[in-house]
Amino acid sequence: MPVLEVVGADGAASFVPQSGAALRLVGGLAGDAAGLYPSDPAARHAIDAALDCLGEVGATLSASIRKGSEGGGDAAPDDVKARRADEQRRLRVALVEQDLPRVYGHLERLAARSGGRALAADGALTVADLSLACQAETLTRGLLDHVSVGCLEPYPHCRAIRDRVLALPEIVAWRARAEPPKAA
């Protein structure tokens, strides 16, 4: 489980479990001027709804990843490996054929309101856009068996949000520090 450690002004540490909760906390701490997770309840509701949609895809994706690594790993008997591989394939096919059209179809309609700048109609980036960019990058990197790198082709506005977020100077700089160098 992901955990964010937050150190208060008094030096005391507290812990925020779960990535969604940490994302909303950090977005809120950025303040209303940043707009990532504004204090207005109606604006937060729209952001939370988009995050919940992304969470549906994330749940299936996470289940498929766990399915590939449970039951003894590479040391498992061949029949167990075959069952795990088949279940992982089934989950990922369902992700691509059912979850993505339903969820990303909805998100695409939201993103179209801003011309693909953000999920919010006014085009302001929020934590939902950051989450979408992360998930869309995971889905399209070619690292997931049975998930085509083109799986988000039907959703150009969602892809535009992903590209906008990944082009932010802060994100580019962080990725340069965090990602291993590419082989020559």
Print pLDDT tens along the chain (184 aa).
678 888 888 989 888 888 888 888 888 888 888 889 988 999 899 999 999 999 999 999 999 988 866 656 667 788 888 888 899 999 999 999 999 999 999 999 999 999 999 999 899 999 999 999 999 999 999 999 999 999 999 999 999 999 999 999 999 998 898 877 776 6
Q: Residue 30: its pLDDT value, please?
A: 86
pLDDT for res 145: 93
Phi, psi of 4 (to 5 degrees): -105, 125
> In the beta sheet, which residues pair with residue 16?
4
Domain boundaries, the chain: 1-30, 43-178
In terms of residues, how long is the chain?
A: 184
Cα-Cα-Cα-Cα dihedral sign, residues 90, 94, 100, 101 = positive
d(CA 161, CA 157) in angstroms, rounded, equals 6
Identify the pLDDT of residue 184: 63
Retrieve residue 169's tokens.
Answer: 């100077």
The pLDDT value given to residue 70: 64
Whole-structure pTM value: 0.85
**Residue-level pLDDT at 71:** 59
Q: Taking the alpha carbons of 70, 145, 127, 179 in that order, is the dihedral positive or negative?
A: positive
State both tokens at 172: 């580019």
- The pLDDT assigned to 73 comes to 63
Classify residue 69 as exposed, middle or buried by CB count within 10 Å of its CB (0-12, 13-18, 19+).
exposed
pLDDT of residue 27: 87
Third-level CATH fold of 43-178 = Glutathione S-transferase Yfyf (Class Pi); Chain A, domain 2 (1.20.1050)
